[in-house]
Chain A
Amino acid sequence: MNLSALQHYAFCPRQAGINLLEQTFGENTFVARGNQTHERVHAGGTEQRGEVRTLRALPLYSLRHGLAGVADVVELRPDGSLRPVEYKSGKARPRLADEVQLCAQALCLEEMFGAVIPEGAIYHAASRKRRDVAFTPELRQAVLDTRDGVRELLRAQVLPPPAADERCRFCSVYDECEPFAPRDTFPAGYDPFNTRWTP
């Protein structure tokens, strides 16, 4: 399972469903900005800065948890400790979905390197701020719960209902989702079988 699916599912299960089940990936200003932010990161490569080695676009996997993906940046310190850093284009905004994604990267790194990773960071490009995220037992559990949610989504193959809240403002698949249009009934005044005669 791809780590980005976890992020989408934690943000909104329906968005993950539209991506995974409908194979529809939308684009909006946020996505475009995100791609821009990731341009340098996704070029890959390593860089030595002082004592810290920076690995970019590092492929990740975890057989134990059934996860795979790519980390934006992993910082390798001389003492052998690892620290994943996830790039986000927006301002510093604590969002569980982003933290789940970051923590999932840590679970992969722990398995790949046989290490313990207590925390990572999210870099917010708009405010140029780093925010530390501690990998608490609760957050680790949230990762596994999210993974189980995606698995269930893929098994059931049914789109979850729309969130229809402030999240939709940022959503890249808004048009495909139609979160605020009625689904089981028609809106008032819309009736294909209407025969009222008002010429």
Chain B
Amino acid sequence: MRHLLNTLYVQTQGSYLSLKTDNIRIEVDGRPPQMVPLHHLEGLVVFGNVMLTPFLIHRLAREHKPVTWLTEHGRFMARTETPVSGNVLLRVAQHGCACDASRTLAVARFIAAGKLQNQKTTLLRSAREALNDDPELLREAARGINGQIGCLPLAQTVDEVRGIEGTAARLYWEVFPLMLRANRDFFWLTERTRRPARDAINATLNFVYTVLANECASAAQGVGLDPQVGFLHALRPGRSSLALDLMEELRAVVADRAIITLINRQQLTPRDFVLHEGNTVTIKDEARKLILAHLTERRKEEVTHPLTARKTPLGLVPHVQARLLAQHLRGDRAHYPPYLHR
């Protein structure tokens, strides 16, 4: 039985973390140390200049609680690989499927279907709360995406699936700003930009996607899958294609939804961003903390998984999906069933 525990994010630069009996002791220059009990933790994510003692790293490794190191700005650097993860038969099956065009196509279709369905759900949900002419535009985009879902079974190659996904993405991002109801002139999205983000929405999306991608990579590794060997995403050195595949179904309902909520509640406002010369934008530390806290709350929210019909915390959905994919790859399940949010 897997339990959803908390992930500890340490962002304060210069923090010093050590093991103190069954706790993590956190020291930040001169302030009284904080203690976090280990048994509440599922993993540790540290940003930038944060020091960990070897004893703490060993203890976390022994309890299968991974440490993820990100740069100060949230780019993935490294993660500890703990013992016993990994099933050679599963990895061979995964590579076999990746080398088989028709099986890859089938998996890619299901992943894309999950993504498009959840984009549709997200748009329709926002349409119920939107103002003026926006509901009609949001519904129109959802209808367009629905049409693209109808095209998926006809796709003959993974490239065609990616094309359908791209068409849906255009429809989705075109109306994305209409889901925002506060500070709209500031949070306006013209196009998706990454590295560096050129507006506040992009900066926020990039940050939340990084956090989610790390969770998906952990989920893949947790069931023994190779996070780099994906199906919808092309294989590319250094890219966690499978983690990105697992993330597709969750982007709209977990990441995008979180951002929309924070902006609409005005918890995230223009003051939370730094605008640099030359039109690039970064998020302030405090706002990153706020976003992580919101995501952590959201992870605890229980949803009914449409396939297993069981109540599952949203934070465990990547793990459930990784397991369902593993079952498909090992021949225990005829298809890969994506997570469809209700």
Contacts and interface: CB of A to CB of B under 8 A. Distances in A.
Interface in B203-219: none
B150 A21 contact: no
B1 A183 contact: no
B136 to A, nearest CB: 11
B334 A181 contact: no
Given A22-B90, A26-B1, A28-B1, A192 B337 contact: yes
| Residue among A157, A174, A189, A192 facing the most chain B CB atoms (10 A cut-off) | A192
Contact of A183 (B89, B139, B224, B333): B333
Contacts of A113: none
A51 interface: no
Interface string A9-42: 0000000000001111011100000000000000
B325 interface: no
Interface in B110-136: 110, 113-114, 117, 124, 127
Contacts of A183: 327, 332-334
B308 A199 contact: no
B143 A23 contact: no
B87 A21 contact: yes
B interface, size bucket: 35 or more
A180 B19 CA distance: 42
Contacts of B149: 193-195
B89 A185 contact: no
Nearest to A25: B84
Given A28-B1, A175-B2, A190-B307, A22 B330 contact: yes
A192 B117 contact: yes
* Interface residues of A, dominant DSSP: loop
Given A22-B330, A159-B330, A186 B224 contact: no
Interface string B217-235: 0000001100000000000
Interface string A154-173: 00011100000000000010
B153 interface: yes
B114 A199 contact: no
B64 to A, nearest CB: 11
Contacts of A193: 113, 149-150, 152-153
Contacts of A138: none
Nearest to A26: B1
B323 interface: yes
A132 interface: no
Contact of B306 (A23, A175, A184, A190): A190
Given A22-B90, A23-B86, 20 more contacts: A22-B89, A22-B224, A24-B223, A27-B1, A158-B331, A175-B1, A178-B308, A181-B308, A183-B327, A183-B333, A184-B334, A186-B307, A192-B117, A192-B338, A193-B113, A193-B150, A194-B117, A194-B149, A197-B146, A199-B143
Interface of B: 1-2, 84, 86-87, 89-90, 110, 113-114, 117, 124, 127, 139, 142-143, 146-147, 149-150, 152-153, 223-224, 306-309, 323, 326-327, 330-335, 337-338, 340
17 contacts: A21-B330, A22-B326, A23-B86, A23-B87, A28-B1, A157-B89, A158-B331, A159-B330, A178-B327, A187-B307, A189-B306, A192-B117, A193-B150, A193-B152, A197-B146, A199-B124, A199-B127
Nearest 8 pairs of A and B residues by beta carbon? A192-B113, A195-B150, A23-B87, A184-B334, A190-B306, A159-B332, A195-B149, A181-B308
